[in-house]
Amino acid sequence: MTFKTQITRQRLPIRLSLVTLALTLTACGGGSNQASNSNQASNQEETKASSETASQNLNGTIAIDGSSTVFPITEAMAEEFQRENSGARVTVGVSGTGGGFKKFCNGETDISDASRPIKPSEIEACQQAGIDYIEIPVAYDALSVVVNSQNDWLECLTTEELKKIWRPEAQGQITNWNQVRSEFPDRELSLYGPGTDSGTFDYFTEVIVGEDGASRGDYTASEDDNVIVQGVTNDQGALGYFGLAYYEENQEQLELVAIDDGNPSNGEGCVRPSEQTVNDSTYQPLARPLFIYVKEEAAQRPAVQEFVNYYLSQENSELVSQVGYIPLTEPVYQAAQTRFKERKTGTVFEGGSTAGVDLSDAL
């Protein structure tokens, strides 16, 4: 199989501690390019000026929980934000996307990290609790399929082979590598992946198996991606999946598997995740946006307002790259900033999927 040429992003060190830290989208208007550029500059200048003023006297606590995938980004933003605003305290927890929404809709947190859009049942829970929220994209992820570093037989899998491995009917049936592909060795296949509270699990099962939540159950599951990393690292016959940042941080112990979706319109052959292949839409169907959901009531507090402005500033997008994810494009950053500035509540996805969605159109 052929591999698509890609640009390798520089890897910078990150910390993926799962200890709770005591730190702490209406479409872009049409019109001329000049008007668009003016709006963008205005958003960025207002964000910068507001942040500079507030940084002198911000105080208060911001409670965040949710996705383990989004966690490294929020952790990095929280650390830098507190460094500049010593009176503010940001706590960042990890309960998985589903677990985070449970807390959010129960009024326990101000912001919920999510690696998928809010589901209809979660929309209803928040409505019943009287909680309005602002849905904001913050980065792109390339969900990564990995194997042990000693695996010398696998470079690429097709999406059909992934489905063969992970569909519910495979439980207790597809247990050896040579059952995936006949030329693979006669070796036990061990599987590691996110648990059912994970947005990564929801997205993977939807785009690979074809149904949200449809998966075999005989695998080692955890909402803690570091557990998945360790499992694959210590098992030569292992295969697992998680967000790109966890591969970037552990690539000396893991091998990245290229994916062939069999769709010529996305490029021929096997494609590995990278900033280039996400932005040119050739890494399909495992590229996805990541989100934060901000409680509208909490957004009225200066500390929360300024933290979200800080999070959405393109000046701070390097933090997204540093922790192994892919910054939003300029139009999407602008749309996200406008969405928060205008306090646009609700979801543009209405409980649906982000698969194949262009955020610059959706917002």
pLDDT in tens, 304-356: 999 999 999 999 999 999 999 999 999 999 999 999 999 999 999 987 778 77
Mean pLDDT across the stretch 18-22? 37
| Structural domain includes residue 305 | yes
Instruction: Name the domain boundary from 250, 279, 308.
Output: 279
Edge-to-edge strands of the sheet including 254-256? 220-221, 190-193, 238-242, 144-148, 254-256
Q: How many domains does the chain have?
A: 2
The answer to whether residue 64 scores a pLDDT higher than 50 is: yes
| Structural domain includes residue 110 | yes
Same domain, 78 and 122: yes
Q: Which domain holds residue 347?
A: 21-140+288-362
Residue 41 sits in a domain whose CATH number is 3.40.190.10
| Structural domain includes residue 3 | no
Same domain, 114 and 187: no
| Structural domain includes residue 326 | yes
Measured between alpha carbons, how far is 126 from 106 in angstroms, rounded to an integer?
A: 7
Same domain, 27 and 81: yes
Same domain, 149 and 268: yes
Phi, psi of 63 (to 5 degrees): -100, 125
Same domain, 80 and 160: no
Report the chain's C-alpha Rg in angstroms.
20
| Structural domain includes residue 43 | yes
Same domain, 30 and 64: yes
Tokens standing for 266? Answer: 């996305």
Phi, psi of 303 (to 5 degrees): -65, -45
| Structural domain includes residue 325 | yes
Q: Name the residue with tokens 């305290």.
A: 89
Same domain, 263 and 294: no
pLDDT value at residue 121: 95
- Taking residue 230's Cβ as centre, other Cβ atoms within 10 Å add up to 16
Residue type (1 letter), 65: D
Instruction: Name the domain boundary from 222, 253, 279.
Output: 279
Same domain, 253 and 222: yes
Phi, psi of 216 (to 5 degrees): -65, 155
Same domain, 164 and 244: yes
Measured between alpha carbons, how far is 157 from 225 in angstroms, rounded to an integer?
A: 21
149, burial (CB in 10 Å: exposed 0-12, middle 13-18, buried 19+):
middle
Please choose, from the candidates 20, 39, 42, the residue with its C-alpha nearest in 3D space to the C-alpha of residue 31: 39
pTM equals 0.80
Mean pLDDT across the stretch 28-45? 48
pLDDT value at residue 191: 98
Same domain, 104 and 50: yes
Same domain, 305 and 253: no
DSSP-assigned beta bridge partners for residue 64: 92, 111
Mean pLDDT across the stretch 256-274? 89
pLDDT value at residue 266: 76
List, in order, residues 6 or more apart from 235 with CB less than 8 Å away: 148, 190, 192
Same domain, 166 and 274: yes
pLDDT value at residue 163: 98
Measured between alpha carbons, how far is 269 from 58 in angstroms, rounded to an integer?
A: 52
- Taking residue 284's Cβ as centre, other Cβ atoms within 10 Å add up to 19
Q: Would you say how long the chain is, in residues?
A: 363
| Structural domain includes residue 2 | no
| Structural domain includes residue 46 | yes
DSSP-assigned beta bridge partners for residue 251: none
pLDDT tens digits for range 277-296: 998 889 999 999 999 999 99
pLDDT tens digits for range 136-181: 999 999 999 999 999 999 999 999 999 999 999 999 999 999 999 9
Instruction: Name the domain boundary from 260, 279, 298.
Output: 279
Please choose, from the candidates 86, 92, 31, 45, the residue with its C-alpha nearest in 3D space to the C-alpha of residue 66: 92
Measured between alpha carbons, how far is 196 from 306 in angstroms, rounded to an integer?
A: 33
